[in-house]
Structure 1
Amino acid sequence: MSKAALAHTHGSLTPSVLSAIGFRDDITSCPERLDLDRRGLTAVPDLDPRRCVSLRLLNLQQNLVSHLQDLLHLRHLALLDLRDNRVIDMCGVSALSSLRVLLLGNNRIQRIGDLDGLAKLDVLDLHSNQISQIENVSGLSKLRLLNLSGNRIARVENLRGLKSLTELNLRHNSISDVTDVQHLPRLQRLFLSANSISSLDALACLWDCRSLSELSVDGNPVALESCYRHTLLRCCSPHLQLLDMRRVTEEERRSASVSARKEDEKKKESHKLAAHKERRRLAIQNAAHQWEGLKQNEAQQWEGLKASSLEIPAQNGSKEDVSPDNSPAHSPAQTNGSAQETSPDEPRRLSPLTLSAGGLRSASRPNSPRDSRFQDGPGVQSLSMSERHLAELEGETLRLFGPGALETLERCWGVQTASSVTTVSFRYIHFDSIIPTFLRIRLKFPNLTHLMFMETSITHLPQLAALAQIRRLDQITVHPEGNPVVRLTLWKSFLIYRLQHLNLQKINGTEVTMNDITASELMFGALGHVAATETPRCRLLLLLEESRKRQLQFLLDGRGRRTGQSPEELKDNGKHAGDGLSRALFNYPSRVSDGPEEEGDVSQRSAMVHQYLRGLVHRASSHSVKGETLQKIWPSLFAELVRDCVLEMRDTQAFRQTCLQRITHSK
């Protein structure tokens, strides 16, 4: 075989390679060479050891050889060509200690092995076999060329120890990840074309290959990325001259440098965004944990009140029997001493209310902070964030997590930003803490149309009456999880009746129909009339007088038109003042705690309510205990009654005399 033919069979066997392993120009006439190609041989021929002592090159390509055990006597062999045969394993090759070139391409080899004795091996060609893993090559310290193209390799690995390797051909495999290449100090040419590499991260080890001058990665999914070539030029060796068989120009290098700067800026921004997302996630998670702890504490306090103060046996009643929702203290028709506004445009100063004993009754766990409803998206603006609260604005929606987020409403807002808010969502905030912000929300967000209450512990109907302070609303959403009031049958009817002046369009995403309005009037109209007629006249006059004073002051200040109320609307409000007054009696008490006296009043009222509940539950429990006791002793009691009667009537004559004596004495 001439040098030209040898170079044609494998591109790396150039004249320089052949001369390096000691073959002269007149190789065809050298007695050191034996050509047995295309002879139909099924095994390596049994050569005469005396004639094979000087044999340096053996060509057996395009035969039917399947095993290599007959090569043990060819210890001076430098080149062995067994391409296009049927070799199934490499056993027997390690005996060829002088071997410099081993060509086993296009065979049926499944594993690389038996190479321990080939310390002088310079070229190893195993292309087009059935090899699935790179292994057993770390001892080939002088190997300069390794061809494993056309196999089934899925991962580039186990290459440490190949200190002299300059060319690695891995075309047409199933490679998805590249490792260990950075441990090849002399690697100059790497061919990874037509594999399954789908990301640049799989090529990260190439960034440390500083001697690389030629690289081919075309034919992989990663090559379809727009920044693929620029990224490789930016990250790979500065000595890279050929990329995918195309010469690298200086203009490309400059462009890659610019692209690198942009990529670094993008990564910084991405890291900043990731840090913000993590802070956001932790803030929501901590707000949820704080909310959960508050609910558990309230539940424990209520259970302690039942166990210690009420002294109720555990089997004599359920939590629902003693819930504040079922007590007269929370009746929708209850009146109180505080003035409640009858018009949505009447300003009023409010303060947070003291949490009632039954205010946090829900036992359901809050949704995970990773709930899809709260995932980051484009256009999200963080307004306030700490370890336990988060306030953010996304488009037209203002979302508040945790009680601390309410402080955002106190800050100065730009006119354009405030006008863009149409929806406000509350989560992990007690509803009684939200009530004082309704005035600020009403004045700060003129285009507000939708309020959403997620986990806010709305437990009873009078709390919903506090929404009457909002100037105007089209939608209200009260999520069932975290708001037990939704489990009450009449909550929607009460909300429609109490907030009739708002003309609600939707409640929890459902349209409010005329039938719903009529049903709410039938349900609560009579109660409103009773409340208005039974309320003391002085109290009604105070409510009406205060309402008219505020409306008059509102008109004198010229604020009616600024808030969008026309003279016709003001006239209609006066016409329906009586109806609004009866609705205003369905209110939720609110106070301004300005001193010790007010706080004392609150504690006194709370103690009175607790005392009333204790008495009510105690009486119910006593009746229950007596009923159970009677059921247990009634059989024996009945038997004793029958026995006494029988014994008494056994002597008829004596019984008659006794009865006559009783009648006589009774007269």
Structure 2
Amino acid sequence: MNVCPRIKRICDVDGLTKLDVLDLHNNQISQIENVSRLSKLRLLNLSGNRITRVENLQGLNCLTELNLRHNSITSVTHVENLPRLQRLFLSANSISRLDALACLWHCHSLSELSVDGNPVALESCYRQTLLRCCSPHLQLLDMKRVTVSPFGSCSFTQFWKDLMDLKHLVFLWSQERRRLAIQNAAQQWEGLKACLELPAQNGSKEDVSPEYSPAHSPAQTNGNTQETSPDEPRPQDAGGPSVQSLSISDSHLAELDSETLRLFGPGALETLERCWGVQTAASVTAVAFRYIHFDSIIPMFLRIRLKFPNLTHLMFMETSITHLPQLAALAQVRRLEQISVHPEWNPVVRLTLWRSFLIYRLQHLNLQKINGTEVTMNEIMASERMFGALGHVAATETPRCRLLLLLEESRKRQLQFLLDGRGRRSGVSPDDLKENGKQLGDALSRALFSYPSRLSDGPEEGGADASERSAMVQQYLRGLIHRASGHCVKADALQKLWPSLFSEIVRDCVLEMRDRQAFRQTRLQRLHSESHT
């Protein structure tokens, strides 16, 4: 017995422009495609296939009936582009959310609809929501006739229940709009990653959605698995009814949830320019960034510092922090207790020294936690040993004019005061001078680990001057590294040779002084010749 092969794709129908009915039920089709040129098609039957999304229906201007029963559909889109659609059958699929049917609200010619057999049909407000939001011409819902208008007279209890259902529907709408804004911001970020040629991440992220939470995934830091603190604010949590939307568009979202300001997409940074109320700004203690390049966030740090006086926590997810000097820009904030840099598209966390560098550079901020882990005194001392010597070398090698550019006005005056030697002349005690110099030296060492910006460094990146400056900096750093490594090699060699060298020195001295009379005459002659020269 020969079994007829099942159809897996819709193809080779572009030329059938006058086709009236297309019946492809009970096949293995997984996607609706190649039907946009069937402008005369009236009935399309794709029931009993493997379709997961309703899409690619543009161009079917004469379609009146669409049968998609017994598939695996989870989302319905593009149905609003069918101007003559009257009957739509979606029974026995996998639709679990009312917002997945949102496009049906715009199908004004719909008279018959079947959605039974889906998980969404188990919700208490399912039927009332469809009756209120779908076409007023709807006559049959799930093969049951609509006999009473949903806006007819009812009791107060029923009216209150309907009002709560409507409120829930509005919430679903806002959630859908929020989800689309975050999804579009994520798609723009995907394109930006390709342009930046960022290194690939471990694992794959199949679905970019606001519910996805890298905060629950382990971060690989220094080769150890490190869990993010569970009580840490998560910038990607689904917004609840208490979330205040500050700015939303097709590709960005800014929202305030209790004390956390969440920014998705580059356009959300414009929210920081708005006029904030004193109480609202004072309530913000955490700011979270996602799908925003870190270099575009840096110019906002000074504004964040002035606008949010109680800010204590900054979070970065998928912001392309790739090297240590970028982390130095966080010093502009001036008050931080916690910093969270999630590993999702922030390659800097793979560097062994990133945490130690952050502790050293931001020591003046009283940093207490990094990625949910307490900063210990041992870590502070280790970071000082590691980067303090390098900062001291850089401070001694950097010209005075460059040092003055790195400091604020008050620090500049203090440095100029000490360099000109006016401290001693003005009667300042040596102990105070020493303490001031030590504090200023520490500030200078840390300030030299700064992040160069376009505004302070002259021409835009990519120019000839920038290339020459980069080459000069690299050559200068290579020279410093060569000198430092040379000193280390010499010190190690001296440490190994010193025992034998010391014994030889002592032996030579003993032999030289064995004949005291000859030794005295030799020394007197040497002193006499040195005095005449």
**Structure of larger gyration radius:** 1
Question: How high is the TM-score relative to the length of structure 2?
Answer: 0.50
